[in-house]
């Protein structure tokens, strides 16, 4: 692992990023640097069966700022990944889940489905992000595309319930829904929590928690 990982300092400039890039997991991934801002992406160099722990976030560092490059790990904490996983872009039909709500040692990237060598690796940004620093209009092109991606705060519970979401996002969404004081909000909160518990139970049974 490099002492310092500076990809996020390129601010989406692929030329600057490629020039300063040092691979952190050369046996697992490669980065395709594409022209245009924020168009580079991470590609698998091997197959990852569904449920595989792809890599830990063991080189992450705490961040005092919320940036396009940070990942939210609690209601108030963010980290810089400092690894090739920085280039794991958003998709509304993700191949990877970032499990980051727990202790630093437990934070890992896991294959959400079978990933083949040569496939782009993606995760669902609102699974970890509440209010994003740089919202954007998604063009993932999948049948599940949600359009505007600004963080879990801006998505209905019905949409979030279709995805793995980290524990801090679940807590924040539940609080938001119950704060409405309306019966519908409480009902949506209960349904979201139940769906998350169901998903976690399935992961545990399959050895993928």
Quick: pLDDT tens for 88-134. Answer: 999 999 999 999 999 999 999 999 999 999 999 999 999 999 999 99
Does residue 16 or residue 116 have the better pLDDT? 116
Q: Residue 205: which pLDDT band, with cuts at 50, 70 and 90?
A: confident
The predicted structure's pLDDT at residue 6: 44
User: How does the average pLDDT of the chain come out, rounded?
Assistant: 90
The predicted structure's pLDDT at residue 9: 43
The predicted structure's pLDDT at residue 178: 96
Does residue 21 or residue 5 have the better pLDDT? 21
| Percentage above 90 pLDDT, the chain | 81
Q: pLDDT tens digits for 35-89?
A: 766 789 999 999 999 999 999 999 999 999 999 999 999 999 999 999 999 999 9
The predicted structure's pLDDT at residue 15: 59
DSSP letters for 54-70: EEE-TT-EEESS--TTE
Asked if 93 and 136 count as a contact pair (C-beta separation under 8 A), the reply is: no
Q: Residue 21: which pLDDT band, with cuts at 50, 70 and 90?
A: confident
The predicted structure's pLDDT at residue 39: 81
Q: Mean pLDDT throughout 173-194?
A: 97
Comparing CA positions, the residue from 79, 92, 74 lying closest to residue 155 is 92
Q: Name the token pair of 127.
A: 């699974």
Asked if 192 and 170 count as a contact pair (C-beta separation under 8 A), the reply is: yes
What span, in angstroms and rounded, lies between the C-alpha atoms of 202 and 206?
Answer: 6
The predicted structure's pLDDT at residue 2: 34
CA angle 109, 103, 22 (to 5 degrees): 45
Domains belonging to the chain, first-starting first, are 7-205 (2.170.270.10)
């Amino acid at each position: 692992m490099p002492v310092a990982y500076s990809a996020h300092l390129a601010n989406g400039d692929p030329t600057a990023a490629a020039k300063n890039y040092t691979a952190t997991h050369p046996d697992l991934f490669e980065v395709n640097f594409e022209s245009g801002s924020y168009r580079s992406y991470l590609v698998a160099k091997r197959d990852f069966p569904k449920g595989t722990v792809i890599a830990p976030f063991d080189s992450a560092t705490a961040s005092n700022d919320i940036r396009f490059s940070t990942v939210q790990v609690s209601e108030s904490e963010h980290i810089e990944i400092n690894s090739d996983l920085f280039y794991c872009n958003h998709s509304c039909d993700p191949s990877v889940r970032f499990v980051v709500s727990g202790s630093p040692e437990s934070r890992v990237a896991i294959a959400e489905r079978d990933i083949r060598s040569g496939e782009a690796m993606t995760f669902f940004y609102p699974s970890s992000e509440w209010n994003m620093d740089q919202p954007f209009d998604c063009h993932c092109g999948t049948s599940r595309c949600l359009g505007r991606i600004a963080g879990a705060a801006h998505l209905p519970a019905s949409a979030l319930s279709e995805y793995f979401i980290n524990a801090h996002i679940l807590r924040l969404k539940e609080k938001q829904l119950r704060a409405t004081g309306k019966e519908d909000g409480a009902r949506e909160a209960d349904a979201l929590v139940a769906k998350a518990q169901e998903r976690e139970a399935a992961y545990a049974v399959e050895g993928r928690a």
